[in-house]
Amino acid sequence: MADEATVELFTRELGGAGKAPLVLLHGLLGSSRNWQTAGAGLAEVAGGRHVWAPDLRNHGRSPWHPEMTYEAMVADLLAWLDARGLGAVDLMGHSMGGKVAMLLACRHPARVRRLVVVDIAPRDYLSHGHRAEFAAMNELRLETLQSRGEAEMKMEGRVPDWAMRKFLTTNLERGEDAGWRWAVNLPVLTAALPEVERNPLAPGEGFAGPTLFLRGGRSRYVREEDLSGIAEFFPASRVETIAAAGHNPHMETRGEFCAAAGAFLGG
């Protein structure tokens, strides 16, 4: 039974009839929807994996909770695994989800067979942040908003990147009163930004199992100077670069991403 501090995560099953489960974790302001196409591709190439993608707390269709820490998200995942009778799984996480995956692997290594971390490193990201994006989201007056297109236009001053504005507005949905609302717990996530940006791993922690770091060649999230820290925490890891990808290789270069991840997972 789940602890009172955990939440029951909404989950999508993305294909695969194999017995070896593969669990995919999305990033900040994302959801399991971000993995739908890549997840189906991984089910085909990764040795018949049964692919699952949960929504993390305060995201997607999972419950909201005032606590938004990496430790809490790991506790949610452990309860999720236990509820399904899953022992050790192959675990893949993107960005914030990659940090959750790293922490779970380091503190509960018996639950992770292989680890894939997508375009994030075990370090603080205080200079990256998402402060402009969160400011733009918080400034929107939802009570007068007419469309997602209008929201994108109003965000342009703070968020010049068109693709990022599109991504942010995927979190807008119609409520029962037909008005717009955020599908994410925006106040809690805004307050939790310093927590989300930090490195959740403590000195001396590590995971000795097989680990793949997949980074985008056009992304600034995993730098050359991060490689020594990766090797320190994950001594059995290797780093591969998908040259044409940015921060979202599972969406931007899906075929190459699935081939690289599938080869590592035993496809």
Whether pLDDT at 221 is above 80: yes
CB 145 within 8 A of CB 180: yes
d(Cα 193, Cα 60) in Å, to the nearest integer? 18
- Report residue 72: phi and psi, to 5°: -65, -40
115-142 as b/e: b if 16+ CB within 10 A: bbbbbbbbbebeeeebeebbebbeebee
**Numbers of helices and strands, H then E, in the chain:** 11, 9
Would you state the pLDDT for residue 122? 98
pLDDT in tens, 63-81: 999 999 999 999 999 999 9
CB 82 within 8 A of CB 1: no
Whether pLDDT at 191 is above 50: yes
Q: Average the pLDDT over each of 53-67, 122-136, 175-189, 222-236 and give the range with the smallest value.
A: 122-136
Instruction: Please give the average per-residue pLDDT across 250-262, as a whole number.
Output: 95
End-to-end CA distance of the chain: 34
Q: What tokens does 36 get?
A: 């739908």
**11-123+199-265: which CATH architecture?**
3-Layer(aba) Sandwich (3.40)
Domain ranges of the chain: 11-123+199-265, 131-191
Amino acid making up residue 47: G
User: How do 211-216 and 237-242 pair as beta strands?
Assistant: parallel
d(Cα 184, Cα 14) in Å, to the nearest integer? 22
Q: Where are the alpha helices (DSSP H) in 131-199?
A: 131-139, 148-155, 162-169, 186-191, 193-197
